[in-house]
Every structure is written in C-alpha cells, then in structure tokens.
Amino acid sequence: MEVGRLINYSPERYLESMMALRTAYGRDQRDRDPAYYQYFVAKVPDSALCEPGTDLRVLGIGSGSGDVDSAILKKLLQRHNSVYNRVVEPSGEMIERYKTRVREDTSLGAVNFDWRQQTAEEYVQTKDDTKFHLIHAVHVLYHVEDLDATLRNMWEQLADGGYMFITIKSDACYAFEGKDAGGKLYYKLWEKFGKGDRLKTSLRTSVDVEQWLDARGISYDVTSEDVAALNIDISECFNEKSEAGMKILDFLTQTPHVSNMPEIRAMTLEHMQCNSSMVNGKRLYKVESEDIVAFKKCE
C-alpha cells in the first residue's frame, strides 16, 4: 500500500496533483494577493544578514515556481546590493516558470541565480561547502527522502549568524473552530493504513521539524497566521467522476489513486466533510501551516 508515498510512486502524478490543488485554492488569485507574500516577507529579518560589501547568499530548497522566493529576494535587496540565490528544484517545469518570472520582473535584476535542477538529496551529493546566510524550505520537507538528513544538511550549510526558515503543514487544530488544520488527516491515515516508518513517507508535519530542532538544542520561533492558510475548494473530491477532484484527493492524502482504494477514500472524505465549511456554495477545507525560524548563533 502506497499511503503517504505519492511522490515516490510517481513524480508525474505528484506534479499533476499539485497543479490541481493550486487551482483548488486559487493560486492565480493568490499570485495577486500581496498579503500572502507580505506574510513571508515579514519573516525575513530587517537587519543586514552579512557584512557590507559581501554578497548575500540564499539557498532555496524546493522553490517551485519562485512565487515566495521572489518576494523574499525583493526584501533582501532593500538592504543588500546583490544577492546570490541558489535554487534547488527537481521539476524542470517549475524551474521554467521561475525563470519566466525572473525575466519579466526587472526588480530582481541584482540577483545572481544559480539553478540546480535536482532533488535536495542529489544536491547534497555535489558536496559543495558554500555557506548561506538564509536557507528556506517552504512546503517541501514532506517530499525529501530523508527528513533527518535534509535538516542536518541545511543546518550545516548555514553560516554563523544565518537563518533557516521552514514552512510546513501544522499538526494542530485551528483556533476557535477546533477543526483539523491539515495534519490530523495525516495521522489518522497513518494510524489506520500506514506501514513502516511514517517519517519515511510524506506524512510529516511541523511537530517533526520541531522535535528535530529540540533534540539538538536549537532554539527557534514558530508562528502560524490565517493569511498563510490555504482554503481549498474540495467540492470536486466528492464527485468520483471528477479527474481534478481525484487529483486533489491524492495530494491531500499524499497517496496515489485514492479513488481506487475505497476504505481510504471513505475515511478521507468523511474527515474532510467534518473539517470543512460551506462558503458560497463551495466546500472549503482549510490547511494551516507553521513557520519555523531558527537562528544559528556565532560560535
């Protein structure tokens, strides 16, 4: 059984499902919503991150089409004359979208991009000892093969005085309404259908990252704000004939072809029904994330 292993089963199915999900939460609208990007921008420290006259170095893991990255880079350019930005992203399609964005947005002209079409695991094999002042992984740590090794590598590549910034699905329930913020579905699926080590699948949440940092005595700040939540239109998931609905279901469970697994499908739909709300005729399922910022003290 492939519970939680969508990307391992088929990177193509993963990408198709991700695109269906983007449509279901209105990514195009979101692209025009400055509040979402401002939220990430606010996480970037206001102070300069390196000595004047030196290049600021940024590493993005799983940058996708660069929507969040470019907002972060623009803030950094307010304090730094030039930025070296290494992009580690396995999908050629996503990198092309990111490059188009860069070509069209002249305000990113002072950024020197270093494109690496690789997974985080392949990238580590290149054994480069560059240190970065900012390393971020926004909604990507579900998909790396080895969470522990990826976090270790990210931390090792961070310069003293640098920041590591991670966004990942929250394991909590959202305030006031007490509904699943996204992560509880993962745990429910795993409890009933999972086999082996959950951390070897994509069913990971903020608590897994926090435990990793706690075990190493690394201090960090956690925030979670409504503006960064995704309100996903799951109406189509209840229509077995809807191709888009089935892909969204796959993405939300990180499991390939859930429509062919009646037990998993029934449990997921029941959970989503109880944890969603009807708004203007659409069934909306809210997924919240946590943002974890760790600072590497100078030794």
Ligand X SMILES: C[S@@+](CC[C@H](N)C(=O)[O-])C[C@H]1O[C@@H](n2cnc3c(N)ncnc32)[C@H](O)[C@@H]1O
Inter-axis angle of helices 67-77 and 34-41, to 10 degrees?
A: 60
Expressed in angstroms, the distance from the first to the final Cα of the chain is 46
Distance CA 107, CA 273 (A): 44
**Which amino acid appears at position 297 of this protein?**
K
Give the residue at shortest CB distance from ligand X: 64
Nearest to 88 by CA among 68, 60, 107: 60
Minimum distance from residue 263 beta carbon to ligand X (Å): 27
CA angle 105, 43, 21 (to 5 degrees): 65
Nearer CB in complex with ligand X: 68/249: 68
Distance CA 182, CA 168 (A): 10
Nearest to 218 by CA among 164, 138, 157: 164
Minimum distance from residue 195 beta carbon to ligand X (Å): 21
Minimum distance from residue 66 beta carbon to ligand X (Å): 8
Distance CA 104, CA 96 (A): 12
Give contact residues for ligand X (rule: CB under 6 A). 7, 18, 61-64, 67-68, 88-91, 94, 119-121, 138-140, 143-144
Nearer CB in complex with ligand X: 4/64: 64
Nearer CB in complex with ligand X: 15/269: 15
Minimum distance from residue 124 beta carbon to ligand X (Å): 10
- For residue 216, the SS3 value is coil
Nearer CB in complex with ligand X: 18/158: 18
Minimum distance from residue 7 beta carbon to ligand X (Å): 6
Minimum distance from residue 291 beta carbon to ligand X (Å): 11
Nearer CB in complex with ligand X: 143/247: 143
Nearer CB in complex with ligand X: 37/267: 37
- How crowded is residue 151: how many other Cβ atoms within 10 Å of its Cβ? 22
